[in-house]
Homo-oligomer: A and B are copies of this chain.
Amino acid sequence: MADGRPLRADARRNRERLLSVARAAFAGEGLSVPLDEIARRAGVGPGTLYRHFPTKESLFEAIVHDRLRQILHDARARGTSTDPGEALFGFIDGLVAEARLKQDLIDALASAGVDVSPSMAVTGAGIRDAIGDLLDRAQRSDAVRPDVTIDDMMALLSGLLFALRPQSRYKADAGRLLAVLRAGLR
């Protein structure tokens, strides 16, 4: 996988299917879903799953890493906006919208104590920096209260995503929660 060689068509198909089945399974039933079950749902043998993801953790990582890269990309793209307040809040809106589509697992994984691998940590740190930049700019333009730190911000975002995860007991409205957050950060 480390070399640049493209996967054979069937291998790529299996890899994609495994990832999407795993994402759904972990999101819906928790991280303890057996790998054999994921393989079964993807219509492959456990050995095939192993060929693509040699350990359970590597499967977690693959799922999370893809997502983290998207988030990082979006945060950076918004860093050049001329409206720093909207840059930050637009980013958060997008985060929430995507999370609902993708049934985000990031914090479920984090809360379950899955070790963040070095490469994930790098992407994660990149995200933190990019969001820190958005926060800074928003604070300098008086769009956000100045006492909030980047750690506060990250925690608020993780809490927001947690509150809105689809399996939640509570049928909260994403728009209202985002409005509360915007108002609170002003």
> A133-174 vs B: 1/0 string, CB under 8 Å?
000000000000101110110111011111111011111110
Q: Are A148 and B113 in contact (CB under 8 A)?
A: no
Beyond A30-B112, A147-B176, A162-B107, is A168–B155 a contact (Cβ under 8 Å)?
yes
A40: min CB distance to chain B, Å: 14
How far, in angstroms, from A113 to B29 measured CA to CA in the complex?
Answer: 7
Q: Is A1 an interface residue (CB 8 A)?
A: no
Select which of B108, B170, B184 is within 8 A of A151 by beta carbon. Answer: B170
Select which of B30, B162, B165 is within 8 A of A163 by beta carbon. Answer: B162
Q: Are B156 and A163 in contact (CB under 8 A)?
A: yes
Contacts of A172 in B (CB 8 A): 149, 151-152, 154-156
Q: Is A180 an interface residue (CB 8 A)?
A: yes
Contacts of A82 in B (CB 8 A): none
Q: Are A108 and B110 in contact (CB under 8 A)?
A: no
Residues 19-55 (chain A) with a chain B CB within 8 angstroms: 29-30, 32
Q: Are A180 and B148 in contact (CB under 8 A)?
A: yes
Q: Are B155 and A164 in contact (CB under 8 A)?
A: yes
Contacts of A154 in B (CB 8 A): 169-170, 172
A76: min CB distance to chain B, Å: 20
A145: min CB distance to chain B, Å: 8
28 A-B residue pairs with Cβ-Cβ distance under 8 Å, sorted by A, are: A29-B113, A32-B32, A111-B165, A111-B167, A147-B176, A148-B176, A151-B170, A152-B172, A152-B180, A154-B170, A154-B172, A155-B164, A155-B168, A155-B170, A155-B172, A155-B177, A156-B163, A156-B172, A156-B180, A158-B168, A159-B159, A159-B161, A159-B162, A159-B164, A159-B177, A162-B163, A180-B185, A183-B184
Select which of B111, B160, B173 is within 8 A of A111 by beta carbon. Answer: B111
